[in-house]
Amino acid sequence: MILGLNLDKIIPKIKIKFLTFAALFSKINILKAFSMVNRLIFSFLFSVIFSFFASASSEAPNASSSDDTTAKAKPSSHSEANRPATSHDAHSKTFDPVGLIMHHIADANEFHVLGHTSMPLPVIIYNKDKKNWFTTMSSAFHAYHGEGTVDVHGYKMEQSRIHPLDGSQIIDFSITKNVFGMLLGLILLLIVFFLVSRAYSNRVNEVPKGFQSLMEPLIQFVAHDIAKENIGKNYLKFVPFLVCIFFFILINNLLGLIPIFPGSANISGNISFTFALGFLAFIMINVFAKKDYWGHIFVMPGVPKALLLILTPIEVMGIFIKPIALMLRLFGNITGGHIAILSIASMVFILGNVGKSIGGSIGGGIIAIPLLIFVNAMELFVAFLQAYVFTLLTSIFIGIAQEEHSHADHH
Amino acid sequence: MTAIAAIGCGLSALGAGIGIGMIGGKAMEGIARQPEASGEIRGAMIIMAALVEGAALIAIIFSFLSKG
């Protein structure tokens, strides 16, 4: 109870802070303050400023590498907007949108913040051939004041990933960008849910307040509209799993949409992440399945014996295809969204000819920014939709596995 | 190879577009005929659209892979 008393004192303070934040936001209310014309002018100015800074920052690396005489002699050796993407070939001549996008989509051993700054993350590597562990921080791979990367203990950093120099087999246990983002999402979820559950135990039978009023409809939605509708009578056993999976996918989707530092990792667009979720769904579907489910897979009632030779393999394949489809759907949707957003943002650099033509980059900015806002809004919807669809399909599959037929209604 | 991957990508988008369009159109018709069932129809529509979209996305992933 000592712990409980402490929390009781702390939580009202946090709540008051939340309330003051909410009051601030409702007072400012940007949309009301700007009329239509003001908004147009504002967005135009914003695009101009954005494109100017974007093209200026793409020229910055060139200035710092001016000790290289060839860079001055050939004006075409402007380097790209994104340094880490091409640190291995720092003098390639044009902007490479595919390289930039693929670098963003892929996992990384460091978290790129802005310009040359990146957040160092722990590197934990098990070398299978040498049978030893290698641990360091990813900042060890950066040259002290220079551009490129240095080799450390027989490992090199290429495109923000660590590779062994001698090509030996490694297992990477590092806290990578995606793992970091995932842990961040986890902490946010824990804070939110502990606040909400504490509020429920403190204010029994009262009207929900603050964060409660945000979370209650969502949890009700998952528990009743998704789980109860599709699973049937013993749905309560699966509600914790479904609520977990819904909010975990949702928070990671939303974190991925934040374009600046703590977000922006392509977490739920990572095939390992979605594989883990699909595997959990596979376990939940099959481990708790009822007898009739296996009966319908191996010996379908009311089907001729000869036909079972064809039907049984198809049904057995179906067990595995369901979670694989879940896995690929989430992966494809989120990765596709990230690619769409980044390729539109790349238009500024393509049209601006990598900072050489300011007019082109401003024009690109004016085209790109309304499109970007549209695609981002679309992705916000997709973030919710995919969390919903994953949870919904999982609960439908669980519902199929939970069904029990009486012998009368064999079809 | 890149061109073939791009064509495959486009074809899968075309197929998914036709599929989702038909689902949406039929759902609209259903809602217009029976407005009281709009909630259920909308739910079923989203599920079916997600399933169709899944097929298209798998095709797009394969076209990515073939591009190397």
State residue A408's pLDDT score. Answer: 52
When divided into structural domains, chain A yields a total of 2
As a whole number of angstroms, the distance between CA A116 and CA A95 comes to 18
Count A/B contacts: CB-CB distance under 8 Å: 31
Among A172, A199, A219, the domain-final residue is A172
Q: Is B18 on the interface with A (CB under 8 A)?
A: no
CA separation (Å) from A47 to A205, A240, A347? 50, 45, 12
A123 and A190 both lie in a single domain: no
Task: Give the residue among B14, B39, B27, B36 at the shortest CA–CA distance from A221.
Answer: B39
Among A118, A137, A172, the domain-final residue is A172
- The pLDDT tens digits for A249-291 are 999 999 989 888 787 888 888 888 999 999 999 999 999 888 8
Task: Give the residue among A36, A44, A402, A33 at the shortest CA–CA distance from A230.
Answer: A402
Among A172, A198, A221, the domain-final residue is A172
- The pLDDT tens digits for A231-246 are 888 888 899 999 999 9
For A77, counting Cβ atoms within 10 Å of its Cβ (0-12 exposed, 13-18 middle, 19+ buried), the class is middle
Query: Using CB atoms and an 8 Å cut-off, which of residues 33-52 of chain B contact chain A?
Result: 46-47, 50
Domain with residue B60: its CATH number is: 1.20.20.10
CB A200 within 8 A of CB A368: no
Choose the weakest-confidence range: A9-18, A357-366, B37-46: A9-18
Structure tokens at A102: 């693929």
State residue A10's pLDDT score. Answer: 52
Choose the weakest-confidence range: A25-34, A262-271, A307-316, A322-331: A25-34
Q: Which domain holds residue A247?
A: 177-409
Flag if A329 and B54 touch (Cβ within 8 Å). yes
User: Would the pLDDT of B27 be above 90?
Assistant: yes
Mean pLDDT of chain A: 76
Q: Residue A142 domain-assigned?
A: yes
A210 and A302 both lie in a single domain: yes
Mean pLDDT of B23-33: 94
pTM: 0.74
A392 CB neighbours in chain B (<8 A) are 47
Q: Residue A364 domain-assigned?
A: yes
Query: pLDDT band at residue A189, thresholds of 50, 70 and 90?
Result: very high
What sign has the CA pseudo-torsion A142, A144, A148, A151? Answer: negative
The single-letter code of the amino acid at A3 is: L
State residue A167's pLDDT score. Answer: 77
Flag if A328 and B58 touch (Cβ within 8 Å). yes
CA-CA-CA-CA torsion for A117, A120, A126, A127, nearest 10 degrees?
30
- Give the residue from A105, A329, A343 with the most B CB atoms within 10 Å of its CB, the best one to mutate: A329
CB A385 within 8 A of CB A268: no
The single-letter code of the amino acid at B5 is: A
Q: Write the DSSP string, A176-199.
A: -HHHHHHHHHHHHHHHHHHHHHHH
State residue A59's pLDDT score. Answer: 46
Query: pLDDT band at residue A407, thresholds of 50, 70 and 90?
Result: low
State residue A342's pLDDT score. Answer: 87
Of residues A392 and A146, more confidence is placed in A392
Q: Is A333 on the interface with B (CB under 8 A)?
A: yes
- B14 to chain A, minimum CA–CA distance in Å? 16
Flag if A392 and B47 touch (Cβ within 8 Å). yes
A350 and A313 both lie in a single domain: yes
Mean pLDDT of B1-19: 85
**What's the first-to-final CA gap in chain B, in angstroms?**
9
